[in-house]
């Protein structure tokens, strides 16, 4: 048993999401979004950090760390889940951050995901994007969607991840999970190869570069269902970000391709709940014929008006979801306000549900 395992077991016991081990600091946990030091532990020296971190770091990652001063890998501890690890060096010395990936994949019902996401899982072709900042629960939502497909369809699923997070067992589907830098050189390499591997569904863990994005759109166009992630905060900014990746001379063509391939965008954020825990606030864009036309014509700013009037199609706006959580007394108004992208809009949404809130002065 590695010495660092004691911290991982504490994470499971106390509902901790992240462990931070940094030179010159006490070990720190993140619980419900808040950082807290372990007061019983001493500050970690550089030598101590190396002992704790390098004991579980795979040989190839140790070499990568020596060459580049950071590396990513997954670590599994029986009975205490899997951990997404990043080892790095800063001005004080080595450090590491570990995110707990629960061994149990939560269902649609347990996560209270909207019906629109289940409909995305029933598609046979197209591109569906799950977006949000780091730590917003994208991986958990995607795992629930893949798990739903695995139990309700008979298809071939290929996932391309860095690193593999949730591990899926075959149910009705055949699932091949490939890890970047372990089973393939990169996302674009694996995505290009996937087209020769007879997939029905492809999950691209991160659409990091222009070439990966282009191949993902083409794969969705050619009769495959593709799930991908981006670090954007709203549905409309996701569409703009995809198009803006490309040189101006290609953007008209990409808009046309995207208008046919894109089927939905789910932008999510984790909000602190009253009394502890967190809840996901989801903004959902369903790409209807009207939305597709606006994407094709470069009028994405007008998509908002469609989302405001198309709730029957499963569309939701982040501000409306935040206001609903406040009205239902799930979250505090200040927390919802802090997570809103459109500050004026969230205040109007509060008024619409009868919530009185005065934001702090700038």
Q: For the segment 141-156, what is each residue's pLDDT rounded down to a tens digit?
A: 999 999 999 999 999 9
Structure tokens of 227? 């799930």
Q: What pLDDT was estimated at residue 362?
A: 67
- List of residues 6+ apart from 173 with CB closer than 8 A: 149, 150, 153, 154, 155, 156, 157, 201
Residue 298's CB is within 10 A of a number of other CB atoms, namely 12
Instruction: To the nearest 10°, report the CA torsion of 147, 149, 151, 155.
Output: -120
Q: What pLDDT was estimated at residue 244?
A: 94
pLDDT digit string, tens, across residues 20-42? 999 999 999 999 999 999 988 88
H/E segment holding residue 64 = helix 59-68
C-alpha to C-alpha distance for 79 and 57, rounded to whole angstroms: 19
Helices (H), 272-342: 289-296, 303-309, 318-327, 333-339
In angstroms, how far is the first alpha carbon of the chain from the final one? 51
- Identify the CA nearest to 42 among candidates 57, 30, 24: 24
**Where are the chain's structural domains?**
5-101, 108-316
CATH of 5-101, one of 3.60.70.12, 3.30.300.30, 1.10.3720.10, 3.30.450.90: 3.30.450.90
Q: What pLDDT was estimated at residue 81?
A: 85
pTM of this prediction? 0.90
Structure tokens of 146? 């893949």
- List of residues 6+ apart from 289 with CB closer than 8 A: none
**20 CB burial (10 A radius; 0-12, 13-18, 19+):** middle
CATH of 108-316, one of 3.40.50.300, 1.20.5.440, 3.90.1150.10, 3.30.980.10: 3.40.50.300
Residue ranges of the chain with pLDDT lower than 70?
Answer: 362
Q: Is 108-316 the same fold as 5-101? A: no
């Amino acid at each position: 048993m590695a010495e660092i395992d004691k911290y991982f077991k504490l994470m499971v016991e106390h509902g901790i999401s992240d462990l931070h081990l940094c030179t010159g600091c006490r070990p720190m946990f993140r619980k419900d979004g808040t950082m807290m030091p372990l007061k019983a532990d001493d500050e970690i020296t550089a030598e101590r950090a190396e002992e704790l971190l390098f004991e579980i770091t795979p040989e190839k990652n140790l070499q990568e760390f020596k060459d580049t001063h950071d590396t990513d890998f997954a670590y599994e501890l029986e009975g205490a889940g899997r951990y997404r690890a990043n080892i790095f060096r800063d001005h004080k010395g080595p450090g590491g951050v570990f995110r707990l990936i629960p061994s149990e994949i939560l269902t649609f019902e347990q996560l209270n995901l909207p019906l629109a996401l289940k409909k995305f899982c029933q598609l046979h072709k197209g591109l569906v994007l799950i977006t949000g900042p780091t730590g917003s629960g994208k991986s958990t939502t995607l795992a629930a969607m893949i798990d739903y497909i695995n139990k309700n369809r008979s298809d071939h699923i290929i996932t391309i991840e860095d690193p593999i997070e949730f591990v899926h067992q075959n149910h009705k589907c055949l699932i091949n999970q490939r890890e970047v830098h372990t089973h393939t050189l990169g996302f674009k390499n694996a995505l290009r190869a996937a087209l020769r591997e007879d997939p029905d569904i492809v999950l691209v863990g991160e659409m990091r570069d222009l070439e990966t994005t282009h191949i993902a759109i083409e794969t969705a166009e050619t009769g495959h269902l593709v799930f991908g992630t981006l670090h954007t905060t709203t549905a409309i900014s996701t569409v703009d970000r995809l198009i803006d990746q490309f040189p101006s001379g290609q953007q008209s063509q990409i808009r046309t391709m995207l208008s046919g391939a894109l089927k939905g965008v789910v932008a999510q954020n984790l909000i602190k709940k009253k009394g502890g825990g967190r809840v996901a606030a989801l903004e959902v864009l369903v790409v209807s014929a009207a939305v597709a036309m606006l994407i094709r014509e470069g009028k994405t700013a007008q998509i908002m008006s469609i989302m405001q009037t198309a709730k029957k199609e499963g569309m939701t706006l982040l501000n409306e979801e935040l206001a609903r959580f406040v009205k239902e007394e799930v979250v505090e108004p200040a927390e919802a306000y802090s997570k809103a992208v459109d500050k004026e809009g969230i205040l109007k949404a509060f008024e619409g549900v009868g919530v009185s809130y005065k934001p702090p002065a700038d």
